[in-house]
Structure 1
Amino acid sequence: MDRASSDAWRQFVLMELVQYLDQNRELILERYQQATDAPISRDQLDQEGLLDFELALTFLKDRNGWGQGKGFLGMNLIG
């Protein structure tokens, strides 16, 4: 696969994830509050800028028989 196709795929996946986070922000926050013993309040999360996300995607390929495996998607969430 050429670099342009790979970059286009990465950009598409990134946009899908950003859209998902945006559309499901309230549901994610609600699940966080239910799953955590002492959750941070929505107001405090908002004041600290923790409801805004920046994503970085890395696609890892197992070219030499080691690593996470062909097609593994690594993702970092940067707050």
Structure 2
Amino acid sequence: MATIIDRAVARGEIAAPADPALMAAILPALGLHRLIFTGVGPDPDYAAAVIDNVLLPALSASSVPESRESTRP
């Protein structure tokens, strides 16, 4: 996943994420979560849904809060 993100950054498709390792860990983490809690392993449709609905929006966000404190009410 890190290589895919790095290549997308190099092509100018996305801005470099603040924490590339965190972005790269999301898909495997959600796949493992699904397996543990539902007994159903990740499949291509699940991977596509996570990429389309979680990773791409996170990587495409135009603004990132400067600190965690600024996002709290």
Q: Give the TM interval when normalised to the shorter protein.
A: 0.3 to 0.5
Larger Rg: 1
Give the TM-score, by structure 1 length: 0.35
Greater strand share, 1 or 2? 1
> More helix by proportion, 1 or 2?
2
TM-score, normalized by length of structure 2?
0.37
Higher RCO structure (Cα 8 Å, ≥6 apart): 2
